[in-house]
Structure 1
Amino acid sequence: MSINENITDSLQYPIKDWKKIITLGIILIIPIVNFIGLGYYSRIIKSTLTGLDEVPDFEGIEELFVDGIKIFIICIIYSIIPLIFYAFSVIFARSETVTSATTTSSIFSSYLPGLTGIPLVFLMLAVILTLIISIFAYIGLANMIYHDNEIGAALRYSEILDIIATIGWRNYILWWIVLTLIIIFAGFIISIVGGILLYFILGILVLLLGYSYLIIFQARSIALIIAFRRG
């Protein structure tokens, strides 16, 4: 399957069942319950890896919840290093803030990173590391799901590298770039349109359906790139 076929299939996949998009969107905005949404992300990948083209159901809520917690744990593990660099950017920015400022705006700005010098360097490193780590995190999560959500499988880097090598580094990086650009661009548009329409209540629906659609799209695309390799 080519990258074009992967993306085309993945873009069409969520709209096969709008009820699932709406259900997932509602689940994702409810604290704690949203772990079920992460579990559903896992189920989409697993369903695709088994060769199914239908959008899976939400049956087995407890299983979805547990799987969601596992995905959350792995995401935290993969995010630790970028978060450390981001924390440094905030710490150095605050240390450079003029503490004698008394205006409300100055007090508020003391909590924002001063995007110059050392803080900017740490922030840029955090962003770069996030992008680099996501290259391996996608495969790590898929490998965990392939191995019945065994957390350790998400961290077996030799397996992750073997999977990418089998896909082909060139093909995989091209796919990753396309997927990342789509998610960033679509996420930006959804946020802008949703934010504007919040004044008319419709914004909530745009945000709910938009981000739900993106999650299903991403899960499908990741699974297809792995399924192609395993096939």
Structure 2
Amino acid sequence: MLSDALWFLKRSDDWVATTIIGGVLWLLSVLIFPGIILQGYFVRAMRAAANGEQAAPSFTDWGELFVDGLKLFVVTFVWALVAIVPAILLSVIIGIGTFTVSEAATGSAAASSAGGVGLGIASLVLGLLVFVLGLLAAYIGPAAGANFAIEGNLGAGFDVRTILSGAFTGEYAVAWLLALVVTVVLGFIGGLLSAIVVGFFVLFYVQVMTYYLWARGFADATGKGRQSTGW
């Protein structure tokens, strides 16, 4: 699977042009339109990976890429709310708690100290909860995106039963971990090279690998698409 991900883009007949376009879009992804087009390409790449295609797709039919990119953004954003909403609530609770403790400080020192300890414990527990939810969203979100890419309709990105049944499997877990390693190691190299522009093309290549692994792992886990032959 990892070898296929590494050569997925390179096997494309126009991989140089695709990499150049992808790198430029990555560079301009802070703007809305290029970022959405890039997301649309990743949808197409996931669909190809799930179907067992050996080569990455090209940048064609940009209107379709834009629509798919918007849909993937919606899927990703909604699943990210699993972590975003609790994080916002945690910030509010800490803010209110800090204000309350500071007000209590004008009274007895003992009450202020007890309030500070209580706030610290509550913040720690809630912080750990937010961390776990963030990790969960980072793990399940790609599975939701893969299911959307495979099925081709937005509703598939929120088919909780199918998504969870595919996400909590050995096949997907291995693929997700491989994608994490690829992102950390090669993404770090690409980040360093970004200072001389070349890194943006490396980062695009790395992201194609990452999306390939997510989709391939999810497809293997759910039996959708063509099964891979191994790592």
Q: Structure 1 length normalisation: TM-score?
A: 0.73
Offset at 1:26?
1.2
Aligned equivalents of 1:81, 1:225: Cα separation in 2: 22
Q: In structure 2, what is the equivalent of residue 173 of structure 1? A: 173
Greater C-alpha Rg:
2
Offset at 1:94?
5.3
Offset at 1:80?
0.7
Offset at 1:8?
1.7
Q: 1:209 aligns with which of 182, 185, 201?
A: 201
Is the contact made by 2:143 and 2:215 (CA closer than 8 Å) also made in structure 1? no
Aligned equivalents of 1:32, 1:62: Cα separation in 2: 14
**Structure 1 range deviating more: 33-42 or 176-185:** 176-185
Q: Supply the AA of the counterpart residue of 2:132.
A: I
Aligned equivalents of 1:22, 1:138: Cα separation in 2: 25
Aligned equivalents of 1:51, 1:226: Cα separation in 2: 12
Q: Structure 2 length normalisation: TM-score?
A: 0.73
Q: In structure 2, what is the equivalent of residue 36 of structure 1? A: 37
Superposed CA offset, 1:131-154 (max 9, x none): 222332222211111222x11111
Q: Supply the AA of the counterpart residue of 2:198.
A: L
Residues 88, 221 of structure 1: CA spacing in aligned structure 2 closer, same or farther, 3 A cutoff? same
Q: 2:129 aligns with which of 125, 128, 143?
A: 125
Superposed CA offset, 1:113-167 (max 9, x none): xxx765555444333212222332222211111222x1111111222234357xx
Q: Supply the AA of the counterpart residue of 1:72.
A: F
2:19 is the counterpart of 1:21:
yes
* 1:57-206 aligned within 5 A: 57-91=58-92, 96=98, 118-119=122-123, 121-148=125-152, 150-164=153-167, 169-191=169-191, 193-194=192-193, 198=195, 202=196, 204-206=197-199
Residues 76, 209 of structure 1: CA spacing in aligned structure 2 closer, same or farther, 3 A cutoff? same
- Secondary structure of 1:136's counterpart equals helix
Is the contact made by 1:36 and 1:65 (CA closer than 8 Å) also made in structure 2? yes
Is the contact made by 2:75 and 2:154 (CA closer than 8 Å) also made in structure 1? yes
Aligned equivalents of 1:46, 1:171: Cα separation in 2: 17
Which ranges in structure 1 are unaligned for 5 or more consecutive residues? 1-5, 100-115
Is the contact made by 1:89 and 1:120 (CA closer than 8 Å) also made in structure 2? no
Which ranges in structure 2 are unaligned for 5 or more consecutive residues? 103-119, 227-231
Q: Percent identity?
A: 20
Is the contact made by 1:39 and 1:66 (CA closer than 8 Å) also made in structure 2? yes
Superposed CA offset, 1:39-67 (max 9, x none): 00000111223332222111111110010
Aligned equivalents of 2:202, 2:129: Cα separation in 1: 29
- Secondary structure of 2:54's counterpart equals coil
Q: Supply the AA of the counterpart residue of 2:160.
A: Y
- Secondary structure of 2:201's counterpart equals helix
* Corresponding pairs, count: 198
